Amino acid sequence: MKENIIKIYEKSFQDNWELEALSDYNSKFTLTYGAFASEIEKIHLLYKYAGIQRGDHVALIGKNTPAWVTVFMATITYGAVIVPILQEFNPNDVQHIVNHSEAKLLFSSKAIWDTIDFDQLLVLRGIISLDDKSVLAQKEDEDFNGCIEKAKAEFEQTYPQGFTKADLHYPEISNEEVMVINYTSGTTGFSKGVMLTGNNLCGNVVYGLHSQLHRRGTRNVSFLPLAHAYGCAFDMLTPLAVGSHIILLGRIPSPKILVKAMNEIKPDLVICVPLVLEKIYTKMIVPMISKGMLRWALAVPLLDKRIYDQIRKKLIEAFGGRFEEIIVGGAPFNAEVEEFLYKIKFPFTVGYGMTECAPLVSHTPWREFVLHSAGRILPGIMECKILSDDPENIPGEICIKGENVMKGYFHNTEATDKVLHDDGWLHTGDMGTLTADGTIFIRGRLKTMLLSANGQNIYPEEIEAKLNNMLYVNESLVVDRDGKLVGLVYPDFEAMDQLGVTHDQLPEIMENVRTELNKLVAPYERVAKIEIMASEFEKTPKRSIKRFLYR
């Protein structure tokens, strides 16, 4: 990338000095771009007195707040490396990540700090509160309170009239430098530290700028975790590069609270995961179209179009009524929900990415979106090839190359060498097909792909998508047991209670579910048995099922 990521922010903060930059939805606290830049400068001074050098690692954990965003941006514009940690990680994982990343300083909310054993953090010099910038813990020979006081005194002495846009100058930092180490929350049993360079971040941000996903003065609702690459790139980094106003909800709320917030804020773009749309579809749309008269009317030509138009209007209003499109990513999309939204011409599109690409690989504006695709490979930024004799029709592993591809995994050359080859191609582990115009279709994970007795490739995710649409099924996994497919099902107990179904009836109901499922799949995809799970599947912080626990 010709553009320098740090200079993009220097210019944006100066150009948008008076505009609102960050707001906390719950407390209504707001920072303008000028006030935001001033808070960043205070942290730069703290780093100076604390002896934080360029290239040092600083860890960060807490919910999405203006303070969280300030620490992230202050760290990369100082020249240090930020290590954002998902707050949903358990305390043992947090301690492992802080140690493995060799972080010298940790910013943490007090609630999370209470769960951490400071004595187990070997390299860490101290912990500072995200809530009030107080020192939560430090090694015996450290004096972070003194550093905070010195930084405060220098700020007041240097900028007696306040920090101005003329005072804003960030250091020259090459795009080739690692700026973020983002630990994955994958389903393979352990986290890897993805080293993302300024160039990786810039590839995503520049695509966002050129695509006008965000524009100066627009409003953006942020509820995805900013510690994850998807939310980080398009709910934070891209809007801050253009002068957009970010309203932080803290974390993913319930559909009811989310709809209330959307109606108040009226965002211009919505970035979300499939689960959000799937929940709204289940709670708002399914009850509506299942009613007697409406269900009958949908079968009548012309009437159905009017009804679909009304549903589309109601759904658009639920998201504030002002947005240009909803971008869905981060997990597979339920096919039934996707098909319904596509049928009613709801303005959504599906993208594809991974932490190792910071994260974007493909995206298409909603008017050009092809049903069941994951968009087109980013032109001029990414390349893609499919390891298949017939890439358009026969799925193969998806390999990608380009500006967004990570530098590697931190302190893990073995894992890096397995996926990132010397020629620059990254093996994603995803299976898919690719059309001549660069549109990509995801079939499933290479690691989860099963082989039938006849040599047919079976993608359990596709069977699970159909199974999850069945009545009384909350979530499912399809696994291979001695050459036969078995569906592990966690029932929808809420639906059972509402319809008066008892636990004793479950085995018979699930056998009927299995029969109906097998009518919808290919012969080699038929499920031989359904096993009922007593509790929810264990999940990663990103809410993906930890498949390795159920093989």
Are 58 and 33 contacting, i.e. CB atoms less than 8 angstroms apart? Answer: no
Taking each helix axis as running N to C, give the angle between helix 460-467 and helix 506-520, from 0 to 180 degrees, rounded to the nearest 10: 120
Query: Is the domain of 410 the same as that of 463?
Result: no
* CB atoms inside a 10 Å sphere around CB 548: 14
Query: Is the domain of 275 the same as that of 412?
Result: yes
Query: Is the domain of 109 the same as that of 16?
Result: yes
Among candidate residues 445, 465, 495, the one where a domain is terminated: 445
- Looking at residue 188, its pLDDT comes to 47
Give the range of the structural domain holding residue 171, as residue numbers without chain letter.
Answer: 5-197
Are 126 and 135 contacting, i.e. CB atoms less than 8 angstroms apart? Answer: yes
Query: What is the distance between the alpha carbons of residues 478 and 519, in angstroms, rounded to a whole number?
Result: 16
- Looking at residue 378, its pLDDT comes to 97
CA 32 to mean position of chain CA atoms = 26
Query: Is the domain of 70 the same as that of 111?
Result: yes
Longest dimension (CA), the chain: 78
Among candidate residues 404, 427, 445, the one where a domain is terminated: 445
- Does pTM top 0.95 for this prediction? no
- Looking at residue 394, its pLDDT comes to 92
Give the C-alpha distances (Å, rounded to integers) separating 262 from 253, 256, 316: 11, 10, 10
- Residue 369 DSSP symbol: P
What amino acid is encoded at 15 in this protein?
D
- The pLDDT averaged over each successive group of 10 residues in the chain (551 residues) is 94 98 96 98 98 98 97 98 92 92 97 91 96 95 97 97 96 97 70 95 96 94 93 97 96 82 95 87 74 56 74 91 93 86 95 95 97 96 96 95 97 95 95 96 84 76 87 91 91 87 91 93 90 88 76 74
Query: Is the domain of 470 the same as that of 516?
Result: yes
Domains contained in the chain, number: 3
Among candidate residues 197, 228, 254, the one where a domain is terminated: 197
Query: Is the domain of 344 the same as that of 412?
Result: yes
Q: Which two tokens stand for residue 107?
A: 């910013």
Indicate the length of the chain as a whole number.
551
Angle at 420 between CA 418 and CA 422, to 5 degrees: 110
DSSP 459-487: -HHHHHHHHTTSTTEEEEEEEEETTEEEE
CATH number at residue 343: 3.40.50.12780
In a domain, 203, yes or no: no
User: Which residues fall within 8 angstroms of residue 269, CB to CB, at 6 or more apart?
Assistant: 213, 214, 218, 220, 323, 324, 325, 326, 327
Are 397 and 196 contacting, i.e. CB atoms less than 8 angstroms apart? Answer: no
